[in-house]
Amino acid sequence: MTFQSILFENPAPVAPAPDVVLQAAFLTDLQLSQIIDTVTAGREAYGLKPYFYMPLTSVQSIKYRHGIMRDLRTGGLLAGIELFAETMRSMRDQLEQGAKLSYQGQREALFLETVEIYCAAVNTLLAALQRADVGSAGFAALRKFLSGYVASEYFRTLAAEAKNLRTDLAGMQYCFRIKGGRVTVAPYKSERDYSVEVEQTFRRFQQRAAKDHCAKTSVYLEMNHVEAMVLDRVAKLFPEVFAALDLFNNRNLDFVDPTIDRFDREVQFYLAYLAELKLLQEHGLQFCYPQVSQTSKEELVQDTFDLALADTLVKKNAPVVCNDFSLTGTERIFVVSGPNQGGKTTFARTFGQLHYLASLGYPVPGGQAKLFLPDRILTHFEREEDLKDLRGKLTDDLVRVHDVLNQATSNSIVILNEIFTSTTLSDAVFLCREVLTQIVDRDLLCVCVTFIDELAALSGSTVSMVSTVVPDNPAVRTFKLERRPANGMAYALVLAEKYSLTYGRLTERIGS
Amino acid sequence: MKAYLMYPDQDFDVSAALGKNAKELYQDLELGVILDAMAGGDEFLRDIAGRGLLGILKTPQAIEYRQQILIDCLEQPAVIRQLYSLAVEAIEAEKHVYHSIFSNYPSSVLRTSMESLKILVKVLRKLRQVADDNATSFRSPGFTRFFGMLADQLDDEYFSTIANHLKTLEFRNGVLISAGLGKANQGTNFTLRSPETNQQNWLERLFNQDRSTLTFQISDRDESGFRALAELKDRGINLVANALARADDHILSFFSLLRAELGFYVGALNLREKLSGKGQQICLPKPEAMTAELCLSLCGLCDASLVLTSSRQVVGNDVGGDGKALVMVTGANEGGKSTFLRSVGIAQLMMQAGLFVVATYYSSSVCDGIFTHYKREEDTSLVSGKLDEELARMSAIADEISPNCMLLFNESFAATNEREGSGIARDIVLALLKSRIRVFFVTHLYDLARGLYGQDLPEALFLQAERQDDGKRTFKLVAGEPTATSYGEDLYRKIFTSEVPERVQRA
């Protein structure tokens, strides 16, 4: 297999333009936009967002990415790849800087350095791949490609010429004398270092570590005209080297290999997510490679959480509550009810995020996850804007739910959050029943957050999940959902939590 | 060049953090009085005296090194004060060198350093002169070494080498700089070169060839060109300017250190003058190694801070306490217990700082650190809070203290009932003794003193404030079995029958 892309198996699609932005309801509703922003923050230059809008549709392509992730996380590759990426970044910075210089002698020298950095980056990457215990098809293909590239005539010549030029330039030494307004450049003849003599004279007074009085050298890369005149004369002292430098520039204008360039961009898709994953893992949260299926709708997830919320909480050092859920046999629909502020919406988002992150080939929040791979995720979350016109809002709700159901195939996931809140209870019960019945009939995977308890027992495919909360102190969100019949609240438990006397809290208190 | 007047092989670190016990020592031993006497109104001397006193030495050898220097100082006070004033002169004169706001440019760093060096070199010459004039009358190894170093390092030839450099650095023939190519072919590694004499002619010829393609001339109207040229030159002289500025710093810090080290002895001279003004006798104490058997032997020991503040003759104490790790002091209130405790603490500090002590004889094993645990009068919170505070302080001390240290207790753990307080204190004392810590404990906790006395500890010494039969205090301590009363009745009677009203509140 010829290596094409670290994100896609062959044939890889053309790399997307970097600045595509997708506006889609499910991205906002599930706070995936926020997750994408967080994950890609600081990596804007790579144009990663478009890749987040390309969910994978086959188990095979997801496994390709899992392989890459495994190599990065456990194969000892990460540090090498990060060094490669950093080197490539400084190579591009250098290239950009060089283009702005006005003196040719400077431009050409900076170009040489850029090429050297590029060669170092390529060698770093190859070395990392050779050193690591690479298990993925993607990295194996990349390694093969790179070995070939590094051994190629083009690359070998490029590196050798750069090295020779560097040696020549670094070895140059010259003298100049300033007297009044006249400057004379001359070869260096091993004249004595006068500062050393002065230093030696006064050495006997040496006390403790001395303060440094050296002036900082100017930060401008660009020379002034006097320096340029000196450089001109230095070039006259060493004409062969400067001619060789000129030739090197002209021959190697497009030195960056397009496949390496694409890898440099695309591998960031993994690194970006790994950085977030590491942050959350440091706070005791777990991630796992989901076992995905295009056929089975049985699901089992343990210790999962809302990634967007967790990111916020962790940065405030607040605890994150994890949830479990499972669907077995013919179970397809979670009906989530219970008191507000208890994590119902969070659960709905978590469910959606999990499936979407899985379809991106990422490890997902949780200690264990078995998931269905949907063709798409459709959401309907309550919109708060139009509260004035209730009739209009119900119409709007109905239209949107209708659209959702229209777009859904039997392989889609539907997430409904507080639908039909703008009508009477009996209307709402009726409408919800109708909608859910359709969903049941079409065998869709679904989460339905509702205040209507009786929906929970609609059919054999519904599972009732109930949120829990401390009613006297709504600021204390438990965010814990429990699988049990929707029979209002378990007051005894709530009371116990209020006094921190549940089994868990009490053992914790006694233990501390 | 190092003065080494405080340690044979080490600088006097005037910026070191003082130990965590420094604040307590200062307060409990009333060191302020002694430091004021040493300072003679000079804040700098006060700071140095404090650092000298609190940064104790831990071996008899280190103490003897200072004691010998101190003897020279006591015999030649005028020379010491002269040397000290030279150090002050150097530092003060340097302050008047104009430090330009453009002082980050190498050319102005160089100019300033040259100016400053000229001043400092002058003082160095004077210092050499003082050394030449007085070296023979000093006998301590410290001063012998110091004067020898001055004669050796600051000979005439050296002064003329410095003068030559200062002349060369005027750059009357332009500057010769070498460089290499750095990032983007910018000049790098600029180094000032001194042409070899045999090259001189060859270079001169080259530099004087006007039409050489290797020469260019900045036009007179090209102001930015001249600025750029000045920058280029600055880069060339950057290192030499740095070298010179560092030399300047080093000489200055030599003088600063000299000032600090001599300052300690000037403080000692000041203290001696104050004490002899009071007619008070001093002696050089005899430090014993902590490896040998524990030693404590004192005669006519006075509380130095009391001597300095009191207008009356102060009574000294005599104690033979060799082998005694615990000295328990009980007895009459106002009988001189606290004064004795303070006198021991101060004497031990002064001995370990290399100073004289206010006694006719004082010999003691050196210790690794001195700690104090005093009842805090100002604490008026609840009784339980007070004991809590005392125990917290004790715990803080326990974090710091180590074997071979000395701990002075004054009326500690009395903030609860006698039985509880005694119990706590006894456990602490026995634990400290077990850990080879020397304990001095002033207490009116009879239960504590009596209990420890009953244990017949060979390493314990019990002293009592002496009370004559008529109830009069001698302020002397005598060895003996602790007695049950602190003679509060005496005190009560004294206060209520005579006219000493300020004591009523505290009784």
Tens of pLDDT, residues B161-170: 999 999 889 8
Amino acid A258: pLDDT: 95
DSSP assignment letter at A211: P
Interval B308-317 mean pLDDT: 87
Composition of chain B by helix, strand, coil, percent to 5: 55, 15, 35
CA distance B166 to chain A (A): 10
CA A229 to CA A176: how far, in whole Å?
A: 12
**pLDDT at residue A475 in the model:** 44
Judged by average pLDDT, the poorest of A194-203, A276-285, A440-449 is: A194-203
| Structure tokens belonging to residue A45 | 């230059």
CB B463: neighbour CB atoms within 10 A?
Answer: 24
- Collapsed DSSP state (helix, strand, coil) of residue B264: helix
Q: Omega before A11 cis (within 30°)?
A: yes
d(CA A107, CA A128): 31
Contact B165 A201 (CB under 8 A): yes
- Mean pLDDT along residues A339-351: 82
- Which residues in chain B have their CB less than 8 angstroms from residue A226's CB? 218, 225, 228-229, 232
- Collapsed DSSP state (helix, strand, coil) of residue A143: helix
pLDDT confidence of residue B414: 73
Contact check, Cβ <8 Å, B215/A183 = yes
Question: What is the mean predicted confidence (pLDDT) over A327-346?
Answer: 84
Average pLDDT of the residues of chain A: 87
- Cross-chain residue pair B192–A98, CB shorter than 8 Å: no
* Residues of chain A contacting B249 with CB distance shorter than 8 Å: 210-211, 213
Contact status, residue B366 vs residue B360, Cβ threshold 8 Å: no
The Cα B6–Cα B209 span in angstroms is 61
Nearest to A88 by CA among A55, A49, A64, A121: A121
The pLDDT, as a whole number, for residue B491 is 46
The token pair at A153 is 């005539």
What 8-state DSSP symbol labels residue A486?
A: -
Nearest Cβ partner of B184 from A101, A205, A214?
Answer: A101
What mean pLDDT value characterizes chain B? 86
**One-character DSSP codes across A399-411:** HHHHHHHHH--TT
Distance from B110 to chain A by nearest Cα, in Å? 10
**Which of A181, A195, A227 lies nearest to residue B217, judging by beta carbons?**
A181
A chain contacts of residue B177, beta-carbon cutoff 8 Å: 175-178
Residue A425: per-residue pLDDT: 59
- Own/partner pairs, A121-126, CB within 8 angstroms, 24+ separation: A121/A84, A121/A87, A121/A88, A121/A91, A122/A146, A122/A149, A122/A150, A122/A155, A122/A257, A122/A260, A123/A150, A124/A80, A124/A83, A124/A84, A124/A87, A125/A80, A125/A81, A125/A84, A125/A260, A126/A150
Of A398-407, A460-469, B116-125, least confident by mean pLDDT is A460-469
pLDDT at residue B416, as a whole number:
60
Q: Do A177 and B1 touch (CB under 8 A)?
A: no
Per the CB < 8 Å rule, is B185 touching A106?
yes
**What proportion of chain B, given as a percentage, has pLDDT over 90?**
55
- Contacts with B30 (C-beta within 8 Å, 6 or more apart), sequence order: B305, B342
CB contact under 8 A, B180 and A173: yes
Q: Which helix (H) or strand (E) holds B5?
A: none
Model pLDDT, residue B506: 39
Is the pLDDT at A385 greater than 80, yes or no?
A: no
Residue B114 is predicted with a pLDDT of 93
Instruction: Check residue B97 and give its pLDDT.
Output: 82
From A184, which residue of chain B is nearest by alpha-carbon distance?
A: B215
Task: Report the DSSP pairing between strands A323-327 and A299-304.
Answer: antiparallel
Bridging pattern class, strands A291-293 and A368-372: parallel
- Looking at residue B207, its pLDDT comes to 60
With beta carbons less than 8 A apart as the criterion, state whether B355 and B301 touch: no
pLDDT at A23: 85
What is the ipTM, given to two decimal places? Answer: 0.71
Mean pLDDT check: name the lowest of A165-179, A491-505, B310-324, B465-479.
Answer: A491-505
pLDDT at B204: 64
What confidence score (pLDDT) does residue B495 get? 47
Q: What's the token pair of residue A205?
A: 């007074």
Of the two residues B215 and A207, the one the predictor is more confident about is B215
Pairing label, strands B317-320, B438-442: unpaired
State the pLDDT confidence band at B271, using cuts at 50, 70 and 90.
very high
- The answer to whether the CB atoms of A207 and B176 lie below 8 A apart is no
How close does chain B come to A155, measured CA to CA in Å? 23
Please determine, for residue B311, whether its predicted confidence score (pLDDT) is greater than 90.
no
**Residue B299: which of B214, B211, B361, B346 has the closest Cα?**
B361
Query: Between chains, do B254 and A205 touch, taking CB under 8 Å as contact?
Result: yes
- For the cut 60, the answer to whether the pLDDT of residue B393 exceeds it is yes
Residues of B in contact with A211 (CB under 8 A): 246, 249
Taking CB atoms and an 8 Å limit, are A212 and B179 in contact across chains? Answer: no
3-state secondary structure A336-348: EECCCCCCHHHHH
Least confident interval from A32-36, A176-180, A374-378, A420-424: A420-424
SS3 for A331? coil
For residue A313, pLDDT over 60 is answered with yes
pLDDT reported for residue A472: 55
Question: Which of B291, B456, B401, B302 is CA-nearest to residue B24?
Answer: B401
Q: Which fold has domain A283-511?
A: Rossmann fold (3.40.50)
Closest Cα partner for B485 from B428, B458, B447? B447
- How many Å apart are CA A369 and CA A365, to the nearest integer? 8
For residues B233-249, average pLDDT: 90
B377–chain A nearest CA distance, Å: 37
Q: Are B445 and B421 in contact (CB under 8 A)?
A: yes
Q: Is the pLDDT of residue A494 over 60?
A: no
Residue B120 pLDDT class (50, 70, 90 cuts):
very high
Task: Point out the residue among B168, B177, B234 whose CB comes nearest to the CB of A215.
Answer: B234
Per-residue confidence band for B497, with pLDDT thresholds at 50, 70 and 90: low
B284 band by pLDDT with thresholds 50, 70 and 90: very high
Q: Over 70: is that where the pLDDT of B419 sits?
A: no
Chain pair A-B, CB pairs under 8 angstroms: 210
Q: Which residue from B minimizes the CA distance to A99?
A: B184
Query: Within 10 A of B43 (CB to CB), how many other CB atoms are there?
Result: 8
DSSP-assigned beta bridge partners for residue B442: B329, B410
pLDDT in tens, A444-477: 999 998 877 778 888 889 999 887 765 555 445 5
Nearest Cβ partner of A204 from B105, B153, B225?
B153
Residue of higher predicted confidence among A301 and A399: A301
Residue of A nearest to B191 (CA): A193
DSSP per residue over A23-55, as a string? --HHHHHTTHHHHHHHHHTT-GGG--HHHHT--
Within 8 A of A230 by CB-CB distance, chain B residues are 187, 232
DSSP letters spanning A415-467? EEESTTTTS-HHHHHHHHHHHHHHHHHTT-EEEEE-S-GGGGGSSTTEEEEEE
Phi, psi of A187 (to 5 degrees): -65, 150
* CA neighbours closer than 13 Å in the CB half-sphere of residue B41: 1
Please return the burial class of A113, using the count of CB atoms within 10 Å of its CB with bins 0-12, 13-18 and 19+. buried
Please, which pLDDT band fits residue B501 given cuts at 50, 70 and 90?
Answer: very low
Q: Strand ranges (DSSP E) for B321-360?
A: 326-331
pLDDT at B383: 41
The DSSP element (H or E) to which B143 belongs, if any, is: helix B141-153
Interface contact flag, A227 B243, Cβ < 8 Å: no
pLDDT-derived band at B427, boundaries 50, 70, 90? confident
Confidence of residue B503 (pLDDT cuts 50, 70, 90): very low
Output the pLDDT for position A20: 85
Share of chain A above pLDDT 90, in %: 62
Reported as a single tens digit per residue, the pLDDT across B86-118 is 999 999 988 888 776 656 789 889 999 999 999
Least Cα distance to A59 among A486, A411, A461, A481 occurs for A411
Q: Write b or e for each residue in B241-263: b if 16 or more Cβ atoms lie within 10 A of its Cβ, otherwise e.
A: bbbbbbbbbbbbbbbbbbbbbbb
pLDDT number for residue A206: 79
Chain A: give the shortest CA distance to residue B361, in Å: 39
Q: Express each pLDDT in A125-181 by its tens digit.
A: 999 999 998 999 999 999 999 999 999 999 999 999 999 999 999 999 999 999 889
B194/A188 touch (CB, cutoff 8 Å), yes or no: no
Which pair of structure tokens corresponds to residue B317?
């104490």
For residue range B126-139, list pLDDT tens digits in order. 999 999 999 999 99
Which of A110, A115, A176 is best to mutate for the B interface (most B CBs within 10 A)? A176
Instruction: Round to whole Å and give the CA distance between B59 and B367.
Output: 8
Which of A101, A182, A225 lies closest to B215 in CB terms? Answer: A182
- Compute the Cα dihedral for A213, A214, A216, A218 and give only its sign: positive
Identity of residue A115: V
Quick one: CA dihedral A329, A333, A338, A339, positive or negative? positive
Identify which of B191, B196, B215 has the shortest CB distance to residue A195: B191
SS3 A10: coil
How many alpha carbons lie under 13 Å from residue A341 in its C-beta half-sphere?
A: 9
Residue A383 reports pLDDT greater than 70: no
Asked if B181's CB is within 8 angstroms of A221's CB, the reply is no
SS3 sequence, A364-384? Answer: EECCEEEEECCCCEEEEECCC
Structural domains in chain B plus CATH codes: 60-211+219-272 (no CATH), 289-503 (3.40.50.300)
Domain boundaries, chain A: 54-169+255-266, 283-511
- Alpha helix segments (H runs only) across A54-183: 59-74, 78-99, 104-131, 137-151, 153-171
Contact yes or no for B408/B341 (Cβ under 8 A):
yes
Do A233 and B216 make contact, defined as CB atoms within 8 angstroms? yes
CA distance B226 to A182: 10
Write the residue in B214, B220, B228 that is nearest to A226 by C-beta: B228
pLDDT tens by residue, B174-184: 899 999 999 89
CA dihedral B307, B308, B309, B314 (to 10 degrees): 10
CB count, 10 Å around CB of B201? 10
Q: A371-380, B31-40, B194-203: which has the minimum mean pLDDT?
A: B194-203
For residue A192, the chain B residues in CB contact (below 8 A) are 193-194, 196
H/E element, B287:
strand B286-288
Render pLDDT for B336-391 as a digit per residue (tens, 0 to 9). Answer: 888 999 999 999 999 999 999 999 999 999 999 999 998 875 444 434 445 667 77
Give pLDDT, residue B206: 63
pLDDT (tens digit per residue) in B242-263: 989 988 998 998 999 999 999 9
Task: Tell me the pLDDT band of A423, cut-offs 50, 70 and 90.
Answer: low
Secondary structure of residue A181 in the 3-state scheme: coil
Whether B418 has a pLDDT exceeding 90, the answer reads no
Residue A158, min C-alpha distance to chain B (Å): 19
Give the CA angle between residues B191, B193, B197 to the nearest 5°. Answer: 170
A-chain residue closest to B229, CA distance: A226
Beta-bridge mates of residue A481: A467
